[in-house]
Amino acid sequence: MTKPRVTLPRLASTAGGAALAAATGVVASLRPARKPLHPRGDVLTGRIFRSGSEEKTGVAWLDEPGEDDAVVRLSRAIGLPRTLPDIHGLGIRVAGEAGEGDLLFATTGWGHLTRFVLTLSRRPRTRPMTTLLPYETDTGPVLLGADGIGAETYELAWARPAGEWHAFGVLRLSSSRAPDADISFDPVRRQLTGLRQYAAVERLREPAYLRARRSRSDV
């Protein structure tokens, strides 16, 4: 009975992945650069405080309490002047017991369908963010979200494609710059234990990241 509710978000996520790949190609052709999307950003250190989740996903990083060091990049996707609205991005490299992994968030909505739709805003914390595309877990698809709840704090949450959001931790940014200002995030190559890219999602994302890698001359 829940199949129609799940199918629509999956269709939306597929469209989102195709749009991501197409957008990267267009921007890369117009503006050859090391990072076709999110060309400039602020790279800071941070720490993730995980409280765990009452509803279990089968992913220890979401289900269990703990703490992780993080490198965080705040950026604007297209790189428009700050007076104009843009898609805001939040890249997180997690370094903890679950290993090292990259998570990428972009401004979207928070509803059952809008969580799969990129949105523009002038300020980075006026809109929630999601990973746009779901991860595969042993218990089914999971989408991750980040919502600014303070000047230097994001609440982290997870949801099934058509389900409610479940908070599992917070990300707190420091004022310290990270040593690697040119860090490049790649959620296809670097995946946290238990959060796997679906093969179909990976096929959609890979062209975008392949273009980015080629522009950086690291493939």
Query: What domains, with CATH codes, occur in the chain?
Result: 3-216 (2.40.180.10)
- Longest Cα–Cα distance of the chain, Å, equals 50
pLDDT at 1: 39
Do the beta carbons of residue 71 and residue 183 sit within 8 Å? Answer: yes
Tell me the two tokens of residue 111.
């509803």
Which pLDDT does position 40 carry in this prediction?
63
Residue-level pLDDT at 36: 47
CA distances from 125 to 64, 89, 107 (A): 27, 10, 9
Q: Whose structure tokens read 């409280």?
A: 51
pLDDT at 26: 43
What DSSP letter does each residue of 96-155 carry, written as one string?
ETTEEEEEEEEEB--STTGGGSB--BSSTTSS-EE-SSPEEETTEEEEEEEEEEETTEEE
**Residue pLDDT, tens place only, 2-33:** 443 444 445 444 555 555 555 544 444 444 44
**Which residues in the chain land under pLDDT 70?**
1-40, 79, 98, 181, 205-219
The reported pTM is 0.79
